[in-house]
Amino acid sequence: MAPTLVWLRQDLRLQDHPALASALRRGGAVVPVYVLDDAGEGRWACGAAARSWLHRSLAALEAALRERGSRLILARGDTATELMRIVRATGAQAVYWSRRYEPAARRQDAAVAAALKAAGVETAEFAGTLLFDPDELRNKQGTPFQVFTPFWRHAQTLPVPTPEKVPAGPWPVPSRWPASLALAELHLSPRPAWDRGFYGPWEPGEAGGAARLKRFARGAMEDYAEGRDLPAEDGTSRMSPHLHYGEVSPRQVWAAVAAQGRESGVFPPSRGAGVFLNEIGWREFAHHLLVHFPHTPEAPLREAFARFPWAADPGGKKLAAWRAGRTGYPIVDAGMRQLWATGWMHNRVRMIAASFLVKHLRLPWTEGATWFWDTLVDADLAANTLNWQWSAGCGADAAPYFRIFAPVTQGRRFDPEGAYVRCWVPELARLPAAHVHAPWEAPAEELARAGVALGGNYPRPIVDHATARAEALAAFHKLRENGAG
């Protein structure tokens, strides 16, 4: 039997991998291939922080393959061209891969399939990155869902496939391996290494993802409903980068929760587990929307919002202050600095920071989406698009236009002792909890004792909350009067 290429992308694992399992069942040598094709990804090619994770994930995958007597072939350039080169070098007669759902990836899939079929090569696409196929989910009217609750209620009536076991190996290999780049030649890891602060809580790769899922399922899931909102606590799963790169599949996540349910006799086994599965559902919903509304990474789903009166920002000073964590609102600044230092931001603080950009500063949501795309290790086009449009009020199931997060109130509620702010905004570390979220309200002598110089080592607020809120509401009212609904 002639070899089969397994074209890898966002499925960088060896277990629960339908494309890989099918290639092994087909018989003959299996050749795992990863092609870095920035041009094929279009505008949304992998951002800088995500490339750092990708480097480590590919290194982990390569090591895991070698343990099974196999190898990872690396290439760079046009995907169809590189796959055809490897087909010719190996005599492969089939190429299998896992389906992706981003607009550029779907176009790439079609182009690759056409080129391979024209050359007489068998092709097959497999599910593997989602629980449910977005093309197959429709509401009662036969149209795509645009509200999460009915979407997820319907999805949960469908069977979730169990994870597919892949043989441990050794796997059949070609008589001669094709030429491959070294991982360093993909130039994914930054020089100088500004990412050295990224990986304290994480181990990129399948083994790291499986270990984190196991720890979370057994240790933190029960308290997730409350713990996920506290940025100073380790109460979230931090599974997002593992899921984005396919180091862990959503079916494996579902199975881990189900296993806990079997132990307790209830599914989901706790309120926290139910809330966590809703987050998995939100990820599914994001991909559903991206498939059916592929224009949304650049344009609002609700077309009338294209006319929203964004504020002027001469010289981009307010945007720069937001990016740098110098807005004068400590909870916002803490989140933006955590993002810059670690490639990740706590989800509650993501919402606060996003709301601040689009509703306090009234700067376009696309600016925030672009910044997050380049700075998050878990940057995912579907999730990034849905979440930013939710914050801006211009997308599916969006936050009501009048919901404007008050940064001080949010900080005091979810970081009551100020531990998160003190960690990421050390200028304020000596302020008492009563004033750490609003240092401008502190008496002058208290600021002096804490070493805080407003307008000096820590900025004054770049906008007044009450004024910014009123202006945002006025802008939204005007838009509604003009037909935004």
The set of catalytic residues is 279, 282, 310, 347, 365, 388
Are 29 and 89 a contacting pair, CB within 8 Å? no
- What distances in angstroms separate CA 272 from CA 70, 211, 224, one per listed residue? 40, 19, 5
CA dihedral angle for residue 108, residue 291, residue 208, residue 333, rounded to 10 degrees: 110
Cα(272)–Cα(12) distance, integer angstroms:
28
**220 backbone dihedrals φ, ψ, rounded to 5°:** -125, -15
Residue 456, classified by CB atoms within 10 Å of its CB into exposed (0-12), middle (13-18) or buried (19+), is exposed
DSSP code per residue over 36-103: E-HHHHGGGPPPHHHHHHHHHHHHHHHHHHHHTT---EEEES-HHHHHHHHHHHHT--EEEEE---SH
Could you check whether the bond before residue 204 is cis, i.e. omega within 30 degrees of 0? no
Are 421 and 437 a contacting pair, CB within 8 Å? yes
- Please state, as a whole number, how many other Cβ atoms lie within 10 Å of the Cβ of residue 288: 28
Among 244, 256, 250, CA closest to 12: 244
In 39-59, which positions are buried (b, 16+ CB within 10 angstroms) versus exposed (e)? ebbeebebbbbbbbbbbbbbb
CA dihedral angle for residue 452, residue 454, residue 456, residue 458, rounded to 10 degrees: 70
Among 100, 87, 77, CA closest to 186: 77
